[in-house]
Chains A and B, each alone.
Chain A
Amino acid sequence: MPGTLLIALIPLLPLAGFIIAGLFGRKYLGRSAGYLGTALMLASALLAIYTAYSYFTAPNGGEYPKIKVLDLTWLQFSDHLSINMGILLDPISVMMIVVVTLISLMVHIYSLAYLKGEERFPTYYAYLGLFTFSMLGLVLASNIFQTYIFWELVGVSSFLLIGYYYDRPSAVAACKKAFIVTRFADLGFLIGILILSNASGTLDFDTMISTLTSPETGAAQKSVAASFLGFSALTWGAALVFIGGAGKSAMFPLHIWLPDAMEGPTPVSALIHAATMVVAGVYLVARLFPVFAVCTPGVLEMVGWVGAISAIIAAIIACTQTDIKRVLAYSTMSQIGYMMFALGVSKYGGEAGLGYTASMFHLFTHAMFKALLFLGAGAVIHYVHSNDMKDMGGLRKQLPVTHLTFLIACLAIAGVPPLAGFFSKEEILLAAHHHNMAIYWIALLTSGLTAFYMFRLYFSIFWSKPYQPHGEHHHHGSVLMTGPLVLLGIGAAFAGLIPFGHFVSSDRIPLASHFDLSFSVLPVALGLLGILAAMWVYARQSDRADKIAAAMGGLYKSAYRKFYIDEVYQFVTKKILFNIVGRTAAWFDRTIVDGAVNMTGTATQKIAAGIKKIQSGKVQQYAVYFLTGMILLAVLFIYLLK
């Protein structure tokens, strides 16, 4: 294993990038801030890969260990309860640091070209460094409170990145929306942490899991006995923690911020909204998986259903959107739904833990192809200066590299063998098939829809009508832009061949994945059907799409309007919260509070005369008050409180 220092450098190098670019970037560094950040990120990524290599190849006796590389006590509350800052290495955290550093590196490189000439270029790299640092701190945390701290830091840095174009009102609105929605969820997370730590008496992940899951300690029983609204305290705790995760991971119904967050620069979307931050919720559930699986199977079932519902709803909406980044946003939500329900249908340990492995596997492959899709979309947007599908078409000759890599990513997400998405999706479906048939069918349907909307996107961008230049100045991406595309394309093509179960499993004992060809026939066939359907409708310019939309009538319209979920929120916030609660509060504020304040004001003025007498500046009077106070105390304690 590499030394503690080297491992600690993985998150610290991006932090150094943030500090240097943040402090000196605009004045002294200018464009070189980007190169500096990229170099630091490269070092960090190499260290992460080296760590992962040594971790997985070290002799381990059939079970991957949990290694606390670093565990500093930060705040000690009592003998047992302390907030630590540590680094915990286990299969999932090691996998995550590889994913985060790699994708971040790609985004760093890509942005060098994409944001060329931006005035706040160094600031952008400072934010990227901060984000990467926070995300790495989150995945490496050994203590649930540390997770929470970095969780919030991730929120802040993503707020900064989404609002990077702060002169655009829509970007400002989007970053506020993302921040506020996730804040609500984070409140749940915080309360959940308090409940779980109260039940287990610790904030440390390891101790918490072992205390809560071992039946002897009685901690679990005690908190099961304490119930609120018919659910045990532990159930509430786990559910609230999950709500926190669902907010970050944009699960239904807390997903409304994700599509709007696409206002940020496109490489940021690739980093935050495809590969890293949005999977934090999945990671959190995976981190506490034994607690969910052993103590609160009910909550785990909820996780499964929320995931499945998010997956299908997002897939349906994605079929109707015309902004290519929004399509990708909904697709992300749908794929994260996949990961969530894979966790939801999993059990703890052994073969039954297949869902856990599958979820992490899908997280891994999804990071590759979704980042690739976003970066590809970025290249397209960079070229045509528009987000809308209607302005695109026939770009395959203009952007050959983007076209090819985009195609690979689409095939991967559609689950076409032998690309990465095929293997992870197959595992998820298999896990669902074993444990929950209803979710299995939903997943299967989603997988068909996924293939359809991805190829709808693909054909609309690269085929459809012949390309018509709009007379604007067009940038062909330099090698800085195509390089990451090609590298991620290789990842998206071959990442699936990794025997993932060998490395990551719910109980950290390698799991042999076996593969059933006959099982794959149905999903692959559905996927191909989706692709063909998309090809039939969108490969050439035609009015088929409009006809179908007209035929679907209300269904299409409501899907296009995202099932009116935003409107529901609007209604709840504007009509109910603002009108009923807000007006009442305003009335209360005006009449009661202001009245009280005004009264206090007049009272103060009246008292002021009296107070002036008290604080008169006459020292003999002070002595009198002194004496009075003393006598009062003496009388109080000698006579009254005997």
Chain B
Amino acid sequence: MLNDFIILMKSELAVTVIIFLLLFIKIGKGMKNETLLSFIQVLLLINFIGTFFFNESGNLFGDMFYTTPLIAFQKSILSLGVYIISLVCADWLKKTPHLPEYFILMLSALLGMFFLISSGNLLIFFLALELSTIPVAAMANFDLDKKRSSEGAMKMILSSAFSSGILLFGISLLYGATGTISFPAITEQLNHSPLVILAFVFIFTSFAFKLSIVPFHFWTADVYEGSPVATTAFLSVISKGAVSFILITTLYRVFSPLQDIWYIMLIALSIATMLIGNLFAMRQQNMKRFLAFSSIAQVGFILAGMSSFSYIGITSVVYFILIYLFSNLAAFGVVSVIADKTGKENIDDYKGLYKTNPFLSWILALALFSLAGIPPTAGFFGKLFLLTSAGSKASYWYIIVAALNMIISLYYYLRVIRAVFMDKNEQPVEKLTLSPSVKLGLILCGIGIVVVGLLSWLFDHIQVLAMHQ
């Protein structure tokens, strides 16, 4: 029993151990920020590598907690993301006065996400969702001397509370309709009664809130803009990844009887999300807001991949999240470095960046090309598989709309690229020296963007995991 417990919950346990370790460090004498950060980076790397070993399937505590190799793989992706964030945002992290707290919060949120994707029961699902949200609101507030940061945090916590309330409402309705909180048992009881549908809509909207699906996305831009870049990166990549994973599992496993409903919902919201995300992204001047809206548009494509209701759908979503992680973290990494050293965040400030900082420019270009889905970057393959998956079910019109949106997005991604490479600027961003960990993080992302798309066995591997889950 204990053996099972340790093996099945090893990822959660590992993160918990790190959290406590940091807590002890904080209580004790403390360390210099730079040493501590390197120490945390090493821990996170070990944690990431550890997720690849001893992966078994099984249940714990009745069916409250379950894990499969696919879930373990999803946890690996999230751990990798946190590790990369600790690298690319190193400059900002070093400057924070409360470094251990920041990572305690981040890892608590990560722990919540781990429980979230492993949850087999409405209760633990709700708890995990809260655990993965509340610390992030505190993280958003971490630029303590900036008003915008507090504002963002405030908005986030209020919106989250609102969404949680609705989620809880949905859960209680669902419990009322089915008389159980265990996922497998719920599936058996589901029918198309208005009560069940209402409960489903309530639960779905709270997912939609977390994923910034239109029209539940309004908090996103404000929070992204106000928060420190590390938090924004965490929100836009790790948070979104985790919620995408749990959303697809919930839809496919728990709400499979309502497939006709959520299929239409996904398609409709996907089109709205792509369109609105794109239209708003086009108008942004601030890089962080720009990336916020572009990541909203990306979610529209993830929804497209989900709509197919097949193991290909799961595969393509997991694969895309991995690619999205590399691309978005690379973009945020560059933005973070520049914002941190010069305070410049506007697209116009990026003019002529190539002249002074060719390395950053190339990484940014790679990241944006990948986000735009231009071959041969990995983003192309990610989108290709998402749309292939959607195409197995949806009509061609929908695919055409999605493809058109890709073209629209091309416009604003290239706008940034043009500013960086072609536009002239009297006072470009000065030449920046990068710390080794930032460089390592950006290079890791760059390699990921180039290589992941070409490694076909990776896709096959995820596919095998998805088929046997």
Contacts and interface: CB of A to CB of B under 8 A. Distances in A.
Contacts, number: 70
Classify chain A: how many residues form its interface, as a range: 20 to 34
A625 B197 contact: no
Contacts of B204: 633
A629 to B, nearest CB: 4
A630 B169 CA distance: 13
- Give the one of B163, B166, B201 with max A CB within 10 A: B201
B179 interface: no
B215 A626 contact: yes
Contacts of A630: 166, 201-202, 205, 216
A74 to B, nearest CB: 5
A377 B162 CA distance: 81
A624 to B, nearest CB: 10
Contacts of B388: 77
A487 B381 CA distance: 48
Main secondary structure on B side of the interface with A: helix
A638 B198 contact: yes
A552 interface: no
Classify chain B: how many residues form its interface, as a range: 35 or more
Contact of B460 (A76, A617, A625, A633): A76
A60 interface: no
A157 to B, nearest CB: 17
Nearest to A630: B205
A623 interface: yes
A634 B200 CA distance: 9
Given A76-B456, A630-B166, A622 B201 contact: no
Interface string B183-206: 000000000101001100110110
A629 B273 CA distance: 13
B271 to A, nearest CB: 14
B201 A637 contact: yes
Interface in B127-159: 151, 154-155, 158-159
B163 A626 contact: yes
B458 to A, nearest CB: 12
Nearest to A72: B456
Contact of A619 (B158, B201, B209): B158
Contacts of A637: 197, 201, 261, 264-265
Contacts of A625: 215-216, 218
A73 B221 CA distance: 42
A604 interface: yes
Nearest to A638: B194
A619 B154 contact: yes
Nearest to B193: A638
A635 to B, nearest CB: 9
Nearest to B459: A76
A619 B156 CA distance: 9
Interface in A585-642: 604, 614-615, 617, 619, 621-623, 625-626, 628-630, 633-634, 637-638, 641-642
Nearest to A616: B218
A229 interface: no
Contacts of A626: 159, 162-163, 205, 209, 215-216, 218
Contacts of B421: none
B92 interface: no
Given A76-B460, A630-B166, A630-B201, A622 B218 contact: yes
B216 A619 contact: no
B216 A629 contact: yes
A611 to B, nearest CB: 8
Nearest to B161: A623
A75 interface: yes
B264 A619 contact: no
A73 B265 contact: no
B218 A615 contact: yes
A628 B201 CA distance: 12
A631 to B, nearest CB: 9
A641 B258 CA distance: 13
B73 interface: no
Interface string A504-530: 000000000000000000000000000
A615 B381 CA distance: 33
Contacts of A633: 201, 204-205, 265
B229 to A, nearest CB: 20
A634 B204 CA distance: 11
Given A73-B456, A629-B215, A619 B159 contact: yes
Interface string A70-87: 000111110000000000
B150 to A, nearest CB: 13
A503 to B, nearest CB: 36
Interface in B6-65: none
Nearest to A634: B201
Interface in B202-233: 202, 204-205, 208-209, 215-216, 218-219, 221-222
A298 B116 CA distance: 63
A453 to B, nearest CB: 45
Contact of B456 (A74, A638, A641): A74
Interface in B333-379: none
Interface in B87-107: none
Interface string A459-497: 000000000000000000000000000000000000000
Contacts of A615: 218, 221, 280
Given A604-B283, A634-B198, A619 B205 contact: no
A629 B265 CA distance: 12
Interface string B386-408: 00100000000000000000000
Contacts of B205: 626, 629-630, 633
Nearest to B204: A633
A146 to B, nearest CB: 14
A393 B159 CA distance: 89
Nearest to A608: B283
Contacts of A604: 283
A628 B215 contact: yes
Contacts of A629: 205, 208, 215-216
Contacts of B283: 604
A5 B155 CA distance: 61
A550 B264 CA distance: 78
A584 B104 CA distance: 63
Contacts of A638: 194, 197-198
Contacts of A641: 261, 264
A74 B381 CA distance: 12
B456 A75 contact: yes
Contacts of B163: 626
Pairs of residues from A and B, 4 with the lowest C-beta to C-beta distance, nearest first: A629-B215, A622-B218, A634-B201, A630-B205
23 contacts: A74-B456, A75-B456, A76-B459, A614-B218, A615-B280, A619-B158, A619-B159, A619-B219, A621-B218, A626-B162, A626-B216, A626-B218, A629-B208, A629-B215, A630-B166, A630-B205, A633-B204, A634-B198, A637-B197, A637-B201, A637-B265, A638-B198, A642-B192
Interface of B: 151, 154-155, 158-159, 162-163, 166, 192, 194, 197-198, 201-202, 204-205, 208-209, 215-216, 218-219, 221-222, 261, 264-265, 280, 283, 381, 388, 454, 456, 459-460
Given A75-B456, A637-B265, 13 more contacts: A614-B218, A617-B155, A619-B158, A623-B162, A626-B162, A626-B218, A630-B166, A630-B202, A630-B216, A633-B205, A637-B197, A641-B264, A642-B192
